[in-house]
Structure 1
Amino acid sequence: MVSISEVRASNARITQETVPHTAVFTGATDGIGKATLTRLLSAKLPVRVYLIGRNGDKQKAYLDTLRQSNKQAQIIWLEGQLSLLAETRRLCDEIKTRETCLDALYMSAGFISSGERIETSEGNGLSQSLTYYSRIMMMTQLLPLLNASPNNPRIISILNAGNESSSIYLDDFDLKQPGHFGLATLAKSLSTYTTLSMSRLASENPRVVFVHHYPGGVNTDLFKKVWGGKWYWPLFSPALSMLATSPQDAAEKVLYLITSAKYGGRGVSLAVGQSPGLTMAKTKTAGSLFAINDKMKELQ
């Protein structure tokens, strides 16, 4: 387990050698992703970031702010709909035409259903497509670039490490059958799919550090967008404000996951008294998945 003070101290020691030189961010136009990208750029180091999202015209002010915050950074906006796998592949192809290697792939794009199953035009569940199918496609498509990186390559997926379950519908992964779709079922299914898939990819790509992270309750606008109109929102909102982590603290933790030598042995060196993190296979090096909960504790 790592304290927030230890996290901040490590992040303050990020250098040009330990920062990801080239990174891809999804889910970074809002919430934890936005706070993480903002925090990364605040280090004032030369980085190139591909920021993927929708509605580029609406994001112009945000992009301008990012670029002004770090004159050494190059922010490349790629517009696309990550809920569609054809679009996800197109975006990955675009990145592969521009880059020969990649240091970091950060993913937190997602959708919280208010209870009903919504399908994309490709026939997949919207939540499953954004949170699992699209992310796995990005990993597999961009792994050649990550494997080519000399700079501590990492994949960070922000979801729900620790909520895996053996009680999933093996004959209905997309939860299409009547009575299968629900928030609890969706959460444990996506967590399980993610951990199993990332574990397999980690074993096949030992040069790349894979991290599945559960950030806990974070006080972003996501919950308000989904449940703001519900009768219980006036009761839930104050509790969220009091108990949830701020996006800024969540971002510090994510930046630590991206840069610290605690995970895989390369990156910002550990402080005196700190020990290397353990993967789910109880190893200290890459080749297995690091599953990290909201207390920054490694899960086995």
Structure 2
Amino acid sequence: MVSISDIRASNVRITADTAPQTAVFTGATDGIGKATLTRLIMTKVPVRVYVLGRNGEKHRGFLDRLREVNKQADIIWLEGQLSLLAETKMLCDEIRSRETYIDSLCMSAGFITSGERVETSEGNGLSQSLTYYGRILMMAQLLPLLNASPNNPRIVSILAAGNETTSIYLDDLDLKKPGNFGLVSLSRSAATYTTLSMSRLAKENPRVVFFHHYPGGVDTGAFKKAWGDKWFWPLVGTVMSMFGTSPEDAAEKVLYLLTSAKYGGKGVVLSAGQSPGLNMAKMKGAGELFLVNDKVKELYQEKVMTQLEAMNAGDIIWRKTQETIGPYS
């Protein structure tokens, strides 16, 4: 576990040598992603950032303000619908045409359902496309650039580390059957698919540090957008303010994951008394996924991972994933 004061102390020591030179952000026009992008730009180090999303005109003012904050930042907007795998592939192609390497990929785009399963025009569940399939496709497409990084290549997927479970439908991974779809099953399945698939990619790409991060309860307004202006939102807001994490503190933690030497590489050097982080294999550095919760504590999930292995869940999920993203690879 790392205290927020230690995290802030590390982040104020970020320099051009420890910050990503080139980064890609999804979900950076709202919530944690927006706060993290803002915090990175506020370091005032030279950085080129690709911001991917839709409705670019709506976010022009925000991005222009960031450019004013850091004159050394090159902020590039790329327009596309991240819930569509074809457009995700198009955005990755554009980045690959411009760059020989990237240092960081930070993904937080998502959609919280109000209770009904909504499909994209490609026939995939909207929530799963944004939080899982699209993210795995983007990782696969951009890993050659990350592997080419001479710096500190890292991937952070902000989702639900620690919520892995064996209570998933291996015969219905897309939750299409009656009674299988719901907010709880959606959250648990996305967490489990993400950890299993990112763990596989981490083993295959040991130069890159992979994180599956749970930010905790953060009042980003996402639930209000999904459920509308209900009577209980003032109560939810009060609970969030008392026990939750602000987007700004959540952003400090994500920036720490992207820049601290705790996780290997040439990041910000640890202060006296701090120890290196351990990945899921309880080893230092890359070669396996880091599961990190909202307290910035590494998780190992040994029991559930052993049970999932006995179920052959990793291979089943990976085959389904490749079947879904394959036409866009």
Tell me, yes or no, whether TM beats 0.5.
Answer: yes
Alignment of 1:219-258 (within 5 A): 219-258=219-258
Alignment of 1:46-61 (within 5 A): 46-61=46-61
Deviations 1:130-155 (A, max 9, x none): 00000000000000000000111000
5+ residue gaps, structure 2, are 301-329
Aligned residue in 1 for 2:170: 170
1:60 positional shift: 1.1
Aligned residue in 2 for 1:287: 287
Q: Write the distance in 1 (CA, Å) between the matches of 2:45 and 2:233.
A: 41
| Two-structure CA RMSD over aligned residues (Å) | 0.9
Q: Write the distance in 1 (CA, Å) between the matches of 2:13 and 2:237.
A: 36
Aligned residue in 2 for 1:69: 69
Q: Write the distance in 1 (CA, Å) between the matches of 2:43 and 2:233.
A: 37
Question: Any idea what SS the aligned residue of 2:285 has?
Answer: coil
Amino acid at match of 1:232: F
1:115 positional shift: 1.1
1:229 positional shift: 2.4
Aligned residue in 1 for 2:99: 99
1:219 positional shift: 1.5
1:265 positional shift: 4.0
Question: Any idea what SS the aligned residue of 1:287 has?
Answer: coil
Q: Write the distance in 2 (CA, Å) between the matches of 1:239 and 1:2.
A: 23
Aligned residue in 2 for 1:209: 209
Amino acid at match of 2:283: T
Aligned residue in 1 for 2:320: none
Q: Write the distance in 2 (CA, Å) between the matches of 1:286 and 1:60.
A: 36
**Retained in 2: the 8 A contact 1:265–1:276?**
no
**Retained in 1: the 8 A contact 2:25–2:105?**
yes
Deviations 1:161-204 (A, max 9, x none): 00000111001111011110011101110000000000000000
Aligned residue in 1 for 2:189: 189
5+ residue gaps, structure 1, are none
Q: Write the distance in 2 (CA, Å) between the matches of 1:282 and 1:97.
A: 37
Identity %: 74
What is the number of equivalent residue pairs in this alignment?
Answer: 300
Question: Any idea what SS the aligned residue of 2:10 has?
Answer: helix
Deviations 1:183-236 (A, max 9, x none): 110111000000000000000000000000000001212222122323432432
**Retained in 2: the 8 A contact 1:218–1:245?**
yes
Deviations 1:81-118 (A, max 9, x none): 00000000000000000000000000000000111111
Q: Write the distance in 1 (CA, Å) between the matches of 2:275 and 2:234.
A: 43
Aligned residue in 1 for 2:312: none
1:240 positional shift: 2.0
**Retained in 1: the 8 A contact 2:206–2:288?**
yes
**Retained in 1: the 8 A contact 2:219–2:237?**
no
TM-score normalized with structure 1 length: 0.98
Q: Write the distance in 2 (CA, Å) between the matches of 1:242 and 1:64.
A: 33
Aligned residue in 2 for 1:262: 262
TM-score normalized with structure 2 length: 0.90
Deviations 1:36-62 (A, max 9, x none): 010001111100000001101111111
Amino acid at match of 1:183: L
Q: Write the distance in 1 (CA, Å) between the matches of 2:236 and 2:6.
A: 31
Alignment of 1:4-153 (within 5 A): 4-153=4-153
Asked if 1:156 is matched to 2:156, the reply is yes
Q: Write the distance in 1 (CA, Å) between the matches of 2:60 and 2:14.
A: 28
User: Aligned pair in 2 of structure 1 residues 173, 199: CA closer, same or farther (>3 Å)?
Assistant: same
Deviations 1:54-80 (A, max 9, x none): 101111111111111100000000000
Question: Any idea what SS the aligned residue of 1:88 has?
Answer: helix
Deviations 1:118-137 (A, max 9, x none): 11001100000000000000
Amino acid at match of 2:251: A
